[in-house]
Amino acid sequence: MSNEIVDELYKVILDRIEKRPTGSYTAEIVNKGKAYVARKVGEESVETIVASLAENKERFISEVADLIYHLLVLMALEGVTPDDIYRELERRRK
């Protein structure tokens, strides 16, 4: 996965949070509050675990993508950028 796709998705998410356009799923869940978005991250984590243990690779990939998207929305609400995470991972690199 290239950083470019994650960075671009994050920018789209920031734009949706700012403009809250009708029909945007991001705007819909953000309008429900941070706790709702955090719960979605938990839900998608569980679905990822289930896909890993009881389903197939295709389902697993789909659930990981759902999880990353919801995590990016929560990061945006926390004011944390993908660069912040890249820096932290870089700091941990051995």
Ligand X SMILES: N=c1c2ncn([C@@H]3O[C@H](COP(=O)(O)OP(=O)(O)OP(=O)(O)O)[C@@H](O)[C@H]3O)c2ncn1[C@@H]1O[C@H](COP(=O)(O)O)[C@@H](O)[C@H]1O
The footprint of ligand X on residues 51-80 (CB under 6 A) is 65-66, 69
The footprint of ligand X on residues 16-45 (CB under 6 A) is 16, 24-27, 29, 40
> Would you tell me the crossing angle of helices 82-92 and 3-19 to the nearest 10 degrees?
140
Chain residue at closest Cβ approach to ligand X:
26
In whole angstroms, the minimum distance from the beta carbon of 27 to ligand X comes to 6
Over 22-74, what HEC string results? Answer: CCCHHHHHHHCCHHHHHHHHHHHHHHHHHHHHHCCHHHHHHHHHHHHHHHHHH
Q: Which residues bind ligand X (CB under 6 A)?
A: 9, 12, 16, 24-27, 29, 40, 65-66, 69
